[in-house]
C-alpha cells in the first residue's frame, strides 16, 4: 500500500516489505474492497438480465426504488450547518459544497441569462434557506440572479417573484415556510422541457452530457466512470451523487451525505471546516517556541557561584 510507505509505517529492504502486524488489517481491508469492487462490476453487467427475470425482477425493482434508504447514511442534524451560507460566501461555497442538482440551477441561469422556470425556483429557494440564507440574503440573491434576464427588472421582480421568497420563509401563504425537498422527491420531478432546468442531474442528463458537465466541474475521471456504472446498471442516482461527493472531496468516504441536498451541503461544509481546523492546529504545533530571555536591570549582575558550591 503506497500510503503505508509514504507514512513510513513499514520497512522496505531489498524489494521486500516488512509490515507490522498492526498494519495487516489495513492491507487486508484494501484487498477486500478491491475484490468486492471487481465482483460488483460483474454483477452490474448481469443486472438487466436479472431485472428481466419475472421471478426476481419485480423484487429487485422494488428494492431499487425503496431500499436506497438502507444504503445511504442517516440524515444528519439540520442545526449543524458547518458553515452558514450567506451572500458574502455563496460564490465560494456554491462550487465547493453545493450538490450538483443545485449548482446546476445557479450556473444554468447565469450561463443562459434566462430566469429559472417555476420548478427550478421551487427546488432552489428552500435549499438556500436551509443552508443558512436569511430572508434578506434571499431577496438580494434572487433579485440579482433573476434580473440577469433582460425581461426581468426590479419592478417585475417585486411583482412576480418577491412573494415566493416571502412564502418560503413563512411570511405569506400558510405562514409555515417551505422545507427543501429530499432526493427521492427531486428525482421524481417531471422531465425537463425546452427552457427548463430542474430535478436530478444524474437522471435528466444522458451519458455524454453528464460526462461533459462533470469534466467542466473538474470531477476526477475515476469518479465519472463510477457514476456512469451506477446510472447505466441500475439507475442508482443517489449513489452516483455520493460518488460525485467523494470525487470532489478527496479522502472522504461519502459517509454522512444523507438523503437530501441539505445533507450534502452540511457534510461538505463540515469536511472543509475540519480541514481548516486541522491545518490551523498543525501550523500552531509546528511553530517554534519563542524563548524569552530575562532582561537585566541597568547595573544588575549575576552573582558567580561560590567556590565549592
Query: Rounded to whole angstroms, how far apart are CA atoms 284 and 293?
Result: 22
* Residue 267: count of CB within 10 angstroms of its CB: 22
Report DSSP state, residue 13. Answer: E
Supply the Cα-derived Rg of the chain in whole angstroms. Answer: 27
β-pair partners for 11: 18
- Mean pLDDT per 10-residue segment, the chain (309 residues): 71 81 80 84 72 78 55 47 90 96 97 93 94 96 96 93 92 82 90 91 96 97 96 92 95 87 93 88 70 46 46
* Grid cell at residue 90: 455563496
State the pLDDT at residue 66.
57
Q: Which three cell numbers stand for residue 138?
A: 434571499
Q: What is the pLDDT of residue 12?
A: 81
The reply to whether the predicted model has a pTM over 0.85 is no
Q: How far is it, in rounded angstroms, from Cα 270 to Cα 158?
A: 36
- Check residue 36 and give its pLDDT: 86
Amino acid at each position: 500500500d503506497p500510503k503505508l510507505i509514504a507514512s513510513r509505517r513499514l520497512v522496505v529492504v531489498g524489494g521486500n516489505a516488512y509490515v507490522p502486524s498492526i498494519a495487516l488489517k489495513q492491507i487486508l481491508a484494501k484487498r477486500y474492497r478491491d475484490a468486492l469492487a471487481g465482483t460488483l462490476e460483474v454483477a452490474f453487467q448481469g443486472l438487466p438480465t436479472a431485472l428481466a427475470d419475472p421471478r426476481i425482477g419485480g423484487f429487485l425493482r422494488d428494492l431499487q426504488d425503496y431500499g436506497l434508504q438502507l444504503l445511504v447514511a442517516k440524515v444528519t442534524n439540520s442545526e449543524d450547518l458547518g458553515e452558514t451560507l450567506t451572500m458574502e460566501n455563496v460564490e465560494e461555497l456554491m462550487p465547493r459544497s453545493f450538490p450538483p442538482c443545485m449548482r446546476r440551477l445557479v450556473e444554468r441561469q447565469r450561463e443562459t441569462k434566462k430566469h429559472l422556470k417555476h420548478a427550478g425556483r421551487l427546488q432552489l429557494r428552500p435549499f438556500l434557506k436551509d443552508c443558512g440564507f436569511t430572508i434578506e440574503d434571499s431577496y438580494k440573491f434572487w433579485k440579482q440572479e433573476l434580473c440577469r434576464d433582460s425581461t426581468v427588472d426590479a419592478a417585475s421582480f417585486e411583482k412576480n417573484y418577491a412573494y415566493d421568497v416571502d412564502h418560503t420563509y413563512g411570511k405569506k401563504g400558510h405562514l409555515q415556510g417551505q422545507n427543501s425537498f429530499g432526493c427521492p422527491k427531486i428525482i421524481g420531478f417531471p422531465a425537463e422541457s425546452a427552457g427548463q432546468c430542474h430535478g436530478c442531474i444524474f437522471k435528466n442528463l444522458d451519458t455524454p452530457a453528464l460526462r461533459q458537465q462533470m469534466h467542466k466541474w473538474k470531477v476526477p475521471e475515476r469518479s465519472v466512470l463510477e457514476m456512469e456504472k451506477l446510472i447505466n446498471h441500475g439507475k442508482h442516482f443517489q449513489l452516483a451523487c455520493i460518488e460525485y461527493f467523494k470525487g470532489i472531496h478527496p479522502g472522504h468516504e461519502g459517509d454522512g451525505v444523507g438523503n437530501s441536498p441539505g445533507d450534502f451541503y452540511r457534510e461538505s461544509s463540515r469536511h472543509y471546516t475540519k480541514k481548516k481546523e486541522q491545518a490551523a492546529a498543525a501550523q500552531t504545533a509546528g511553530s517554534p517556541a519563542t524563548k524569552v530571555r530575562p532582561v537585566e536591570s541597568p547595573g544588575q549582575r549575576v552573582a558567580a557561584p561560590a567556590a565549592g558550591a
